[in-house]
Amino acid sequence: MHTRGPRGPDTGAPVVEVDRVVTRFGAQTVHDGVSFALARGTLTALIGASGTGKSVLLREIIGLVRPDGGRVRVLGTDMWSAPADEVAAVRRRFGMMFQDGALFSSLTVAQNVAVPLIEHTRTPAELMAPLVALRLAQAGLAPEAGAKMPSELSGGMRKRAAIARALALEPEVLFLDEPTSGLDPATARGFDSLLRSLVDDLGITVLLVTHDLDTLLTIVDRLIVLADGGVRADGSVTDVMRTDDAWIHAYFAVRTMVADVPRAR
């Protein structure tokens, strides 16, 4: 059962450290010395135009894509130089939600959520169902959702099922790639509320990639703007939007125009 109480932001060692990361694809340099650090118990959004390597950077942080230079530390562990057993141990302390949810289509929702518990813990069989039910509830899903196949779920429910699986091992950090992409406005706002509650109530640190202006304006503590290979701006939403940077003004102007167009339901 969940025993960790809310922790809130702290000023201790960073939970995630990205130090002068360089990423190249052939002759193209996508990241040229990207650096930032995340405090515990905060919700940070990584934004930028298409092609700035936001999703790639997430994959570099969690150890799926090796950067061409620089260092990445998660919970104090260097993801690219630490021994394999140390990296495996730290991976059990964070969760990842990919853009499409990446649920196993041949497994029920409950079986999907149970996968990390089966692979990484010795949870007794009699406790598996209650733990899965708890994670479903934390993700805002009713118990009966566990018996459904991913193909039977709406887009919003699939996202919540993916969050439930990401929460399976009681992570300290969550990484999310476009969590509200493809959702109608009402469903997206409900998902935003869920993410905010994970930070406020459970003390989880969240780093997400998003283009959703409502998400940026309503739940995010901090924005990191990627542009021209580096960090263009870093601060609260208010501070970033008040900068004199013409590129940032143009970015938010475009997002505002897009947000004013009703989404298909």
Q: Check which CATH number belongs to the domain holding 222 and give it.
A: 3.40.50.300
Buried b (16+ CB within 10 A) or exposed e, 235-254: eebeebbeeeeeebeebbee
pTM tops 0.85: yes
Q: Percent of the chain, pLDDT > 70?
A: 91
82 and 39: one domain? yes
Is 4 inside any structural domain?
A: no
| Nearest partner of 240 among 105, 232, 25, judged by Cα | 232
- pLDDT band, residue 4 (cuts 50/70/90): very low
- pLDDT band, residue 251 (cuts 50/70/90): confident
The answer for residues whose C-beta is within 8 angstroms of residue 15's C-beta and 6 or more apart is 38, 39, 40, 74, 75, 172, 173, 205
Q: What six digits make up the tokens of 214?
A: 């409502």
- pLDDT band, residue 210 (cuts 50/70/90): very high
Q: How far is CA 130 from CA 98, 113, 168, in A?
A: 25, 12, 12
Domain boundaries, position 69: 12-93+172-252
Is 61 inside any structural domain?
A: yes
- Could you say which of 125, 154, 170 is where a domain stops? 170
pLDDT at residue 90, rounded to an integer: 96
Amino acid at 154: S
pLDDT at residue 98, rounded to an integer: 87
- Could you say which of 144, 170, 196 is where a domain stops? 170
Is 262 inside any structural domain?
A: no
pLDDT at residue 234, rounded to an integer: 96
pLDDT at residue 99, rounded to an integer: 79
Total number of domains constituting the chain? 2
Q: How far is CA 199 from CA 36, 56, 149, in A?
A: 19, 24, 28
